[in-house]
Amino acid sequence: MDHFEKIAARLESRDLDAMLLTNEANRFYASGFRTAGTDGMALVTRDGCCYYMTDSRYTEAAERHVRGAVIQEVGAGRGYAALLKEAVQRHRIRRLGFEDAYMTVREHGALARALPCELVPAADLLSELRAVKDPEELEIMVSAQRIAERALAEILNEIRPGVTEKEIAARLQYLMLHHGAEDMSFDPIVVSGPNGSLPHGVPSEKAIQSGEFVTMDFGCVYHGYCSDMTRTVAVGSVTDEMRRVYDTVLEAQRAGIDAARGGVSGHDVDKAARDVIDGAGYGPYFGHSFGHGVGVEIHEGPNATPSNALPLPAGAVISAEPGIYLPGKLGVRIEDVLYLTEDGCRNITLAPKDLVIL
């Protein structure tokens, strides 16, 4: 799967003759082929001729995986700038879009000196395209969610007093890889008891105890796309306060999901969930936003945040993850992933959300 044609189709409206892709995630989105870090560049021209440039470590793999682009190999005395200059001259490129959100000042300066064209900031072009998933992307993301859910179903059999947060985190990673994941979307978060008040706490040697919540935030990469989910479960028993916090978070998530659809602002989706938490008296303990975009990267646009007054586009995939965190006591977060449509949303996460007491 590649998106060269989709990128090329947007260039004329931006008054660009070509788009240069250096960021790892954008190169993958364009080509369907991933190399690490800065080990590659892609060039998409308005006339539809595309190039994928990399070094000898990746040339053969690129030739196997990249379709719709000419593969070029850099080498001694013939680096990226030289290949780009040849392409700029060949296609008479005057205005070349570049990823201003990612390119360093040094990299920009070197290209500006080497290339006989104007470099035009255009990172938002890729952000807009990546925000709206096509059917093939959505199908892959659903598969990634199913892998994470299988891992969840199995890990619930292993959570008990005496097992450490680190052990649960390690097992989640193993289970996702075992069920077909290529990598983790991020390092799993597994926190229990008082550690649960840390929204992005790091798994520790702390042993899980009876009467505690265990929050697990995790996801995997499948065919280059991320899944993301969080479930909070209880061990042994819960207090009235624990149940009240859990029920409030679940109610808030459902309110946000009910509000989520294409055309509604990120602010309004966030507010629907936040109002529930505020109304229950826990407003000061919900510090992050309702959700973020998910796709090639675990955090990408668009976002359901208090500061985002822009409408969320239909076709976007966003997380739905309100939480309440009582310092030094406990924390609860529940997270699903939503596909936005014109008249609502499709929740692509199927794992149950009612409170589980193991």
Tell me the whole-structure pTM to 2 decimals. Answer: 0.95
pLDDT of residue 35: 79
The model's confidence at residue 96, banded by pLDDT at 50, 70 and 90, is very high
Stretch 100-121: mean pLDDT: 96
- The answer, yes or no, to whether residue 111 has pLDDT greater than 70, is yes
Instruction: Summarize the confidence of residues 8-17 as an average pLDDT.
Output: 97
* Predicted local confidence at residue 94, as pLDDT: 98
User: Mean pLDDT for the chain?
Assistant: 97
| Position 36 pLDDT exceeds 80 | no
Residues 147, 153, 155, CA angle at the centre, nearest 5°?
Answer: 100
State pLDDT tens for residues 168-182. Answer: 999 999 999 999 999
Tokens of 52: 């994928």
Dihedral sign computed on CA atoms, order 123, 128, 131, 135: negative
Give percent of the chain with pLDDT exceeding 70: 99
| pLDDT band for position 17 (cuts 50, 70, 90) | very high
Which domains occur in the chain, in start order?
Answer: 4-131 (3.40.350.10), 135-347 (3.90.230.10)
Give the type of residue at 139. E
What count of other Cβ atoms lies within 10 Å of the Cβ of residue 353? 17
Residue 102 has pLDDT above 80, yes or no: yes
Task: pLDDT band for 39, please (50, 70, 90 cuts).
Answer: confident
Mean per-residue pLDDT, 142-162:
98
Task: Find the mean pLDDT for residues 102-131.
Answer: 96
Return the amino acid letter for 33.
Answer: F
Q: Which of 33-37, 38-42, 224-228, 314-318 has the lowest mean pLDDT?
A: 33-37
**Phi-psi category of residue 98: left, alpha or beta, with phi > 0 → left and psi -120 to 50 → alpha:** beta
pLDDT of 12: 97
pLDDT tens profile 278-335? 999 999 999 999 999 999 999 999 999 999 999 999 999 999 999 999 999 999 999 9
Q: Which of 7-21, 38-52, 308-322 has the lowest mean pLDDT?
A: 38-52
Residue (of 319, 338, 354, 358) closest to 231 by Cα position: 354
Q: How far apart are CA 34 and CA 240, in angstroms?
A: 49
pLDDT bucket at 37, cuts 50 / 70 / 90: low
Question: Between vectors from CA 114 to CA 112 and to CA 118, what angle results, nearest 5°?
Answer: 40
Residue 1's pLDDT band (cuts 50, 70, 90):
confident
What's the one-letter identity of residue 229?
M
Looking at residue 76, what is its pLDDT? 87
Contacts of 4 (CB under 8 A, 6+ apart): 30, 31, 44, 48, 50, 68, 69
Residue 88 has a pLDDT of: 97
CB atoms within 10 A of CB 357: 11
